[in-house]
């Protein structure tokens, strides 16, 4: 099984879709990085913002807003459409034979799609984090430069102390950035699995595989509904862009619980659908 997953992941990563996603995100982060270098080249260390605010995904970054609104299309490319392409080109028959079983093929395909999307989405942001950590002072932050500001931050004055990973955002920016990048990768890979499930039912046009992902993203844009009894307001940009104020830990947890529940339902749907087809 491990070998099958590995070979499938290698195939997916070598395909054009994965490369397009990776390079679009890489260009965006490098563009942002060079803009930051230009802007802060003559700025004193004490007046610099925290490292989290340099990243593409930071709250008020224009390129970040663009990338996040675009990411719900991009996630389909590395893994989401792979299942449909295999079926269309009839490669799935050979792959099922080589994987020694239908279910081994499907499960390995899902894991490979998950991993390849995760890699394509998170690696560019990790590269950016590394570049930022090398270029800008990690410990500096305007919010922490004076003792009065430190007390203000500690007491939550002007900020929301219940915000998601508030302490890490203020005191351990690199750890915060790393966790948020991992969460973004998880979100993207989950969306890829959802579009994969849709490809079982409808794979006439590959563009239509964007519809379920897109529908979910637009539902998260500006709606308010309960998730397992917890009423949370859904704000797509609020969850994916880094901000110390808007999203609380509870909201973030339930948002990911909702997403992962949909993913589990999608996986069950794929398995049941393929099983019924066999019958």
Partner 1 sequence: MKVYWKYFMIPFLYGIIFSWNAHMNGHGIIDICQIAVNQGNGYIWYCTFEAVLETIKTNFIYYMFIIVFSTYIYRHFCNSSVYVFSRCENRMKWYVRECLKLFCFTVIGNIAVFAGSVVTALLGCGMTSSKESIWIVFVYFAIYSLWIFASVLLANIISIIKNSVIGNLTVMGILNFLLLLLTSIDYQNFTSREHIKMRSNPMSYTLLSWYKMNIEDITGIEKLEYACNPWMGIIVLSVCCMAVFFIGAMVIQKIDIIKNNTDN
Among 46, 219, 265, 272, binds partner 1 (CB under 8 A): 219
Q: Does 207 bind partner 1 (CB under 8 A)?
A: yes
Q: Which lies closer to partner 1 via its Cβ, residue 33 or residue 267?
A: 33
If one asks whether residue 69 binds partner 1 (CB under 8 A), the answer comes out as: yes
Q: Is 261 in the site for partner 1 (CB under 8 A)?
A: no
DSSP state of 49: P
Are the C-beta atoms of 33 and 124 separated by less than 8 Å? no
Contact 5, 108 (CB under 8 A): yes
Minimum CB distance to partner 1 smaller for 205 or for 273: 205
184 binds partner 1 (CB under 8 A): no
Cβ count within 10 A of residue 16: 9
For residue 63, give every residue at least 6 positions away whose Cβ sits within 8 Å of its Cβ, in sequence order, or none: 28, 31, 32, 35, 56
Is 43 near partner 1 (CB under 8 A)? no
Beta pairing, strands 230-234 & 223-227 = antiparallel
In contact, 124 and 26? CB cutoff 8 Å: yes
Q: Is 12 in the site for partner 1 (CB under 8 A)?
A: no
Long-range CB contacts for residues 158-163, cutoff 8 Å, separation at least 24: 159/244, 159/245, 160/244, 160/245, 160/246, 160/248, 162/248, 162/249, 162/250, 163/243, 163/244, 163/245, 163/246, 163/247, 163/248, 163/249
Rounded to a whole number of angstroms, the minimum distance from the CB of residue 75 to partner 1 is 11
**Does residue 89 belong to the site contacting partner 1 (CB under 8 A)?**
yes
Residue 70 lies near partner 1 (rule: CB under 8 A) = yes
Could you tell me the two tokens for 144? 């922490």
C-beta of 100 vs 226, nearer to partner 1: 226
88 lines the binding site for partner 1 (CB under 8 A)? yes
* Residue 131 binds partner 1, judged by CB under 8 A: no
57 vs 267, which CB is nearer to partner 1?
Answer: 57
Q: What minimum distance in Å lies between the beta carbon of 138 and partner 1?
A: 26
C-beta closer to partner 1: residue 135 or 206: 206
- Cα separation, 192 vs 77, whole angstroms: 8
Select from 1, 130, 221, 265 the one that contacts partner 1 (CB under 8 A): 221
Binding site for partner 1 (CB under 8 A): 17, 20, 60-62, 65-66, 69-70, 73-74, 76-77, 81, 84-85, 88-89, 204-211, 214-215, 217-219, 221-224, 236-237
């Amino acid at each position: 099984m491990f070998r099958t997953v590995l070979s499938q992941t290698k195939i997916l990563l070598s395909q054009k879709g994965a490369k397009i996603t990776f390079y679009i995100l890489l260009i965006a982060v490098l563009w942002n990085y060079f803009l930051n270098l230009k802007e802060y080249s003559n700025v004193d260390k004490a007046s610099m913002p925290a490292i989290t605010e340099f990243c593409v995904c930071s709250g008020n970054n224009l390129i970040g807003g663009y990338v996040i609104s675009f990411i719900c299309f991009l996630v389909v490319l590395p893994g989401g459409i792979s299942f449909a392409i295999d079926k269309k080109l009839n490669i799935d028959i050979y792959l099922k034979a080589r994987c020694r079983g239908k279910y081994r093929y499907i499960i390995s395909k899902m894991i490979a799609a998950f991993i390849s999307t995760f890699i394509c989405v998170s690696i560019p942001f990790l590269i950016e984090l590394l570049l930022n950590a090398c270029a800008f002072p990690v410990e500096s932050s305007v919010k922490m430069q004076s003792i009065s500001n430190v007390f203000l931050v500690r007491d939550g004055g002007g900020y929301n102390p219940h915000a998601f990973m508030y302490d890490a955002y203020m005191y351990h920016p690199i750890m915060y950035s790393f966790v948020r990048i991992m969460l973004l990768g998880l979100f993207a890979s989950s969306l890829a699995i959802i579009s994969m499930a849709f490809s079982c039912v409808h794979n006439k046009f590959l563009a239509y595989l964007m519809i379920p992902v897109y529908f979910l993203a637009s539902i998260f844009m500006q709606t308010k509904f309960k998730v397992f009894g917890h009423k949370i307001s859904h704000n797509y940009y609020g969850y994916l862009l880094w901000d110390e104020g808007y999203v609380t830990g509870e909201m973030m947890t339930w948002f990911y619980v909702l997403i992962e529940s949909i993913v589990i339902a999608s996986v069950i749907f794929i398995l049941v659908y393929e099983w019924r087809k066999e019958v």
